[in-house]
Chain A
Amino acid sequence: MMSVNENVVRVEEYEFPLDRRYFRGRDAHLWVRREGDLFRIGMDQFMAETAGYLNYLEVTSEELTEGEPFGHFESAKFVSKLYAPFDGEVVEVNREAERDPRAVNEDPYGTWLVEVRTSDAEGSDLVSDAEELESWIRDEIAALD
């Protein structure tokens, strides 16, 4: 069941605030939100919940290349990669999230991972449309079973 209200898309137990876009390329499940001239990137609630508690998180402070890993995290002894939604230059890494990665599980939309400057934030696989989001997340939920 999908619902859209208060600018949030809800698909089953997962929520997707519409004040940001979502990177679905390479199963990344990251959100991108504009903050002035910069863009903050974080993990969406679907990934934060299905991955389990994050024990480790490491994010690069170098360049981002679209589709390439810019960090890793470990949960349940499984190491996953974080894939960049677009090319960019890292302005700041959220070291607090690296020190306490469970903050990502507890508040995925309030915990950014990296702040980036880019000349092209369009990327090739960023979703912001509510219906498109719903369809993608439904497919993702189906793939879990």
Chain B
Amino acid sequence: MRLFDLGETGWMESQLVYHALASAGVEAVAVQRPSETYVCLGRFNTPGELDTEFLEREDIPVFRREIGGGTVLLDREQAFYHVVADVRKKEVPARVDRFYRYALEPVIETFRDFGLDVSYRPANDLVVDGKKASGNGAGSFGRHYVLAGSVLLDFDTELMTRVLDFPGDGFRERAKELMDRRLTTLRREVGDVSYDEVRDRLVANFETAYGEMEVETELPAEVREEVDRLRERYGSAEWMAMEGKQPRLHDLKVAEGCYLAHCEVEGYEVLAQRSDDAVTWVRVRNGEGRMRDVEEGLVGAGLDGEEILRLLPGDMSRGTRKHVAERVTGGT
């Protein structure tokens, strides 16, 4: 296992590094931060879920990574860590949930070094006092597993809600409110912390976990070649335009167990928040304003389409109620 402390890298390079390490078959930990703000889509996301006009106006680039997880906003206020490990080695767990623990243990220790009581929430979130403090995505490249994630020093929730193409301002405002409540950052928790302090702790904790390593600040020639080769692939219009899954612009996952859904149909507008098993907050409007009695009935209801159907206004057509119920429950 090698350890690369790459300092500040360009936005695209900050993603290409772990793709290239895996592709070149180099087992490594890499720590870095990007010099620019950009949006990064998961393997199955498409640019269709982004407000591309806004991104163009603000000159914010977009990358689509080969690994999992959702759309994220990345900037220099985040400390990136990447783990590339050969799954054929005995110490590297083949089962995905155990691999996450293996790769994230040094990150958990890093939060603890700053006095935070951090816990692991499956699939791969790290949470402090119930709030997400680190996001991660992973994937396999042949015999190598890759995990890529970041420690949030700060996070611009306002900008995050601007880059996504939400259905209306009500959705955007609620999404921001939820992100402010469900996400946290190192600076919010412990005050002024620099990138260098976090980097130093990450490097030390990865060495404790995986054994002492010489810290390298440059990628070896064979990995640099892969970076250049992959820049062409992942920077191509073809890769970005590749068919992914249909964006569900009306259904946002704010954090594990917290979803926001929206629909407008036949004069009704419904904005609903749900946990994994119940409706937790809802706004229902028709041409005359808020329907508070309907809202009260829906909050606390289980995610059972038939139950939601019964709780919706009787003057809605059955087809409309069915559509709304599907959105509110997230299709369950």
**A interface residue numbers (CB < 8 A to B):** 26-27, 50-52, 55-56, 58, 72, 74-81, 140, 143-144
Contact B142 A76 (CB under 8 A): no
The reply to whether B95 and A77 form a contact with Cβ atoms under 8 Å apart is: no
Contact A74 B68 (CB under 8 A): yes
Contact between B137 and A77, CB atoms less than 8 A apart: yes
Say yes or no: A75-B96 contact (C-beta < 8 A), given A26-B142, A81-B140: yes
Known: A79-B138, A79-B139, A81-B140. A144 touches B96 (CB 8 A): no
Which residue of A has the minimal Cβ distance to B87? Answer: A27
The residues in B between 51 and 99 inclusive whose CB is less than 8 angstroms from any CB of A are 66-70, 87, 93-98
Q: How far is the CA of A144 from the CA of B97 in the complex (A)?
A: 10
Contacts of A78 in B (CB 8 A): 67-68, 96, 123, 137-140
Hey, which chain B residues are within 8 Å of A56, CB to CB?
43-44, 245
A72 touches B43 (CB 8 A): yes
Say whether B123 contacts A76, CB under 8 Å. yes
Q: What B residues does A74 contact at CB under 8 A?
A: 42-44, 68
Type the 1/0 row for B214-230, where 1 means its CB is closer than 8 Å to any CB of A.
00000000000000000
- B140–A79 CB distance below 8 A: yes
B122 at interface by CB-CB < 8 Å: yes
Interface residue B136 (Cβ < 8 Å from any Cβ of A): yes
Residues of B within 8 A of A51 (CB): 96
**CA distance in complex: A76, B94 (Å):** 14
- Within the complex, which residue of B93, B123, B142, B243 is in contact with A77, where a contact is CB–CB below 8 Å? B123
Q: Are A77 and B138 closer than 8 Å at their CB atoms?
A: yes
Q: A26-B142, A56-B245, A144-B94 are in contact. Are A76 and B44 (CB under 8 A)?
A: no
A77 surroundings in chain B (CB, below 8 A): 42, 68-70, 123-124, 136-138
A76–B122 touching, CB < 8 Å:
yes
Q: Tell me the complex Cα distance, A140–B94, Å.
A: 9
Q: Which residues of B contact A81 (CB under 8 A)?
A: 140
In the complex, what's the smallest C-beta–C-beta distance from A71 to chain B, in angstroms? 12
Q: Which residues of B contact A140 (CB under 8 A)?
A: 94
Given contacts A56-B44, A76-B96, A77-B138, 9 further A-B contacts (CB under 8 A): A27-B94, A50-B96, A51-B96, A74-B42, A78-B96, A78-B123, A79-B42, A80-B140, A144-B98
**In the assembled complex, which residues on chain B have CB atoms less than 8 Å from the CB atom of A55?**
44
B96 and A52: CB pair below 8 A? yes
Chain B contacts of A27 at CB under 8 A? Answer: 87, 94
A32, B84: Cα distance in complex, Å: 31
Contacts of A80 in B (CB 8 A): 139-140
